[in-house]
Structure 1
């Protein structure tokens, strides 16, 4: 099975104080050794990356090609890995340039660079040189998106999607402007008219932005009880639920035995029947096959379990379990 070679991206680990400054200095020295790419370089590298994706799709369709074809496919995959590494390394300074614009916004520069590097990797993977865009323009958008999302996630105790945060910002700006002009708090309708957001959505945002209350808030002066003590643990499993789950698992295992050995092995791993659930990639690595091949086996096995003859036995097993 082909495994992509690791790409050196210099993802930055955060260190406190002077150590952080030294780490940043060393990082900037390291990335400064990589030459900048010209337009011809970008087209060449992007072509190699595209060819490697085509080769990977070919291997996913037929994991075991023979002879010269396999040799050529593997050569193309390795060339794509090298192209990705060079493309990323030669644009790390672009990430630093963008990240510096966000200093003081809530994350340290090293964290901003790390998030920006993730955006750069997505840009390299998705860049289409045939559309005529400059890579720096395309990559800057992805870098800013990655940094912006990280800042949005760090700014609230509860994560709010970026597009929702943009609506919050628009409503806040409209509210502040109207309050200054009217010398009073504006109504929902006034905010909606200025912001272009519907009155219903403005009201919903106001409702959902009430102050957060910590579960550690004391309920009395002695501090013996906290607010969290009044909330039931919904994650606790009752003895009845535990027994029912065991019966259901036993019925499922009986159905899995009707599958081919490889299909049963994949579903057991996928649903964590014998241990913890595994991803498609983890299963593929364990079995020595591609991620796409694991997905195909899983799909075929689930299709068999949905077949009427199997479904009938499944429901009979469920009724037997319920009667115990």
Structure 2
């Protein structure tokens, strides 16, 4: 064991949380391991489950995580979060590393570090996950760089630096190089070219409610409260009205039914006050008074029924 690793404890070089620049500076000062040291610590971990040896393997490769994280800053996620996820991948790699395979830890850990960062990016760069299949994941992490290459080639040929869409030839070329279907390239290009849309944007700057897609996606007809209210209205319109009518005398009931519950053959409303007045041999005002009294009685009956 070298004196550089024996004293002082390398863990003491890591600054307190909260200062990313200080952390990066500290991990870049971590001592590198020679092949012999790496093999020694890896065997101590594998054979004796030596946690201190595992810590030295992790600490000496933290700079690798920082370097890889810089490559993924273009996805709009915090640098510190990318480093944190990469560190998880590094620890998984150290745990699974076999020193007898003839591979340096740096090469073995690279896969695990990128895998954790890829998973984090896919889950967090958009509200909706944009890549789930193996082909989609491959396209997600290659489409942007390949598209920039096509744009550079196009600019060199015809001076067009503003074209955003892929041409048919570029789509075919990308599908061939990445060994995916042409349709997968088109679909991923469409997904990445669109942004997230908030379903419920909430109040705007002026305090007014903003309308988002949620206002058009909600099916109010199947909303439980609406179903219960509709059922209650239907019951009231049938059984409730019938019960209220049963509480009226024959004349009052006929007046209400003829005025409000019957429809003529031509689609017009029921009998008028004057028609009913002529039928009963009284004035239209008397029919109106009987109708008003009947309506009040029915209203009370419906309230009791509800």
Band of TM-score, shorter chain: 0.3 to 0.5
**Bigger relative contact order, structure 1 or 2 (CA pairs below 8 A, ≥6 apart):** 1
Greater gyration radius: 2
